[in-house]
Structure 1
């Protein structure tokens, strides 16, 4: 974190937090992790994920009410239980890796997400004809737990499983809300033990709370109105640019 929360910090942080809130509130959380690559352009990776976790937890709670009990309980349970070992592996990796490793991982996850979505749009990857079984839900939950710990990027792996379940848009959204509410709670203690939270990130979080709530509110209202194609189109371009830059920085 910068010693002073200056104009440059808020110029990056406010749009990142609002964007994450919109995704959390109305678009399946898939693009919420875009906030982390953006913040990692101006902060150390650990500071970026430490800053975002309390705000993401607030977004989860804010989004619970409008989607309360609209989720698919079985699918959510598999993802949540699977996330436990994923979060544990992420905790171990964080203990040994340096910041450039995390820049590289965050960048690769961002670019990989874009590649995954483009492949789906081109028909190279199709939703499973039959719903995936529970053990596959646990597997993808583990992947989601790991990528969520590293860069709050659990949305894409969770989507691979949930898309196979052929849920309607609102059930899909509600299932991601309850799943990541639980997964983000799991991450809080390891983040605390590993020293990822600081007084400076806490101060920044307090200042950014209104923008987190605003983003979720906008997302909930756009859930039934805005084209997902338009929203995610901007997201993919943004992730491709920031992810590429982070990969370059991690390698050089």
Structure 2
């Protein structure tokens, strides 16, 4: 038996990580970005990402069923082609680009994004809505695909484009669910090709798997009961906290 499967410290960080990712998959805030860094307290970030990916796919299946028929198809059509390009770039540069560099960049961009939201809210109030923009959607879709492949942190780039559109929280959640379900399914191929799915990692994924559907359904239950005036400030606040964590992790690793 792999030493990982009998290590209590691994479960102490992995179980909360899976639960937080599941809540996010259900639509609650941005806590899912803590998943890999939290598991990296016990194992390497690369191994943590490999263990989480099959769990993410199961969460995606649960989320697709939970939020079926509520997504915004135009946003998906505008963003998904870019996401495929981003995954390809991530695969091609896997040997050169580290997850720590990606976390630093994503953290910095996301903090700027939250700062812009605070400024716009101060000038125009919470009711300000941005218009759909296909070139911007393709750009941020590419960034989301790339950062999702390298470090499972595709959420902030996706939200940089979609949050200002001020969709209904249920529509925004459902759109994100479909987007990342497709992205994660495609990522399985390059992850397998890079040799990340060995017996130890897949066994660890299977042991943690029962927490996936329960936490995802719990997140969906919470979002369905949140009003937009609560959902958006709460989500921006959690994104800001995660951005600070990503930025800090990146700075520490690069010093």
2 CA distance for matches of 1:242 and 1:39?
14
Q: 1:112 to 1:10 in 2, by over 3 A?
A: farther
Q: Which residue of 2 aligns with 1:79?
A: 79
TM-score, normalization by structure 1: 0.85
Please state how far the C-alpha of 1:140 moved relative to its aligned partner. Answer: 1.2
Map of 1:50 onto structure 2: 50
How far apart are residue 234 of structure 1 and its match?
5.8
- Residue 196 (str. 1) matches residue 199 (str. 2): no
Residues 82 and 139 of structure 1 are in contact (CA less than 8 Å); yes or no, is this contact kept in structure 2? yes
Equivalent pairs, count: 246
Map of 2:106 onto structure 1: 109
Instruction: Quickly say closer, same or farther: Cα 1:213–1:111, change in 2 above 3 A.
Output: farther
Match of 2:41 in 1: 41
1:120 counterpart residue number: 117
Which residue in 1 is equivalent to 2:254? 251
User: 1:146-177: per-residue Cα shift (whole Å, max 9, x none)?
Assistant: 01111111111111222243311111111000
Cα distance in 2 for partners of 1:80, 1:170 equals 19
Q: Work out the CA distance in 2 between the residues paired with 1:244 and 1:171.
A: 32
- CA shift at 1:15, angstroms? 0.6
Contact 2:31 2:242 survives alignment (8 Å): no
CA RMSD of aligned residues (A): 2.7
Query: 1:24 touches 1:63 (CA, 8 Å); kept in 2?
Result: yes
Q: Residues 216 and 62 of structure 1: is their aligned pair in 2 closer, same or farther, counting only changes over 3 Å?
A: same
Matches of 1:66 and 1:167 in 2, distance apart?
18
Flag structure 2 segments of 5+ consecutive residues without an equivalent. Answer: none
Note the C-alpha offset of 1:32: 1.9
Which portions of structure 1, spanning 4 or more consecutive aligned residues, are displaced by more than 6 angstroms?
124-128
Decide whether the 8 Å contact of 1:82 with 1:138 is kept in 2. yes
Tell me which moved more, 221-230 or 71-80: 221-230
Compared with structure 1, are the counterparts of its residues 186 and 112 closer, same or farther at alpha carbon in structure 2 (3 Å cutoff)? same
Instruction: Tell me the residue number matched to 1:20.
Output: 21
- TM norm structure 2: 0.84
Once residues 77 and 204 of structure 2 are traced to their aligned partners in structure 1, the CA distance between those partners, rounded to angstroms, is 33
Q: Which moved more, 1:83-92 or 1:116-125?
A: 116-125
User: C-alpha distance in 2, partners of 1:78/1:106?
Assistant: 25
**Residues 68 and 54 of structure 1, relative CA distance in 2, 3 Å threshold:** same
After TM superposition, the structure 1 = structure 2 runs for residues 1-252 of structure 1, keeping only pairs within 5 Å, are 3-5=3-5, 6-27=7-28, 30-97=30-97, 101-110=98-107, 112-123=109-120, 129-225=129-225, 228=231, 229=233, 233=237, 236-237=240-241, 240-241=244-245, 243-248=247-252, 250-252=253-255
Contact 1:145 1:154 in 2 (8 A): yes
* Distance in 2 of aligned mates of 1:87 and 1:128: 32
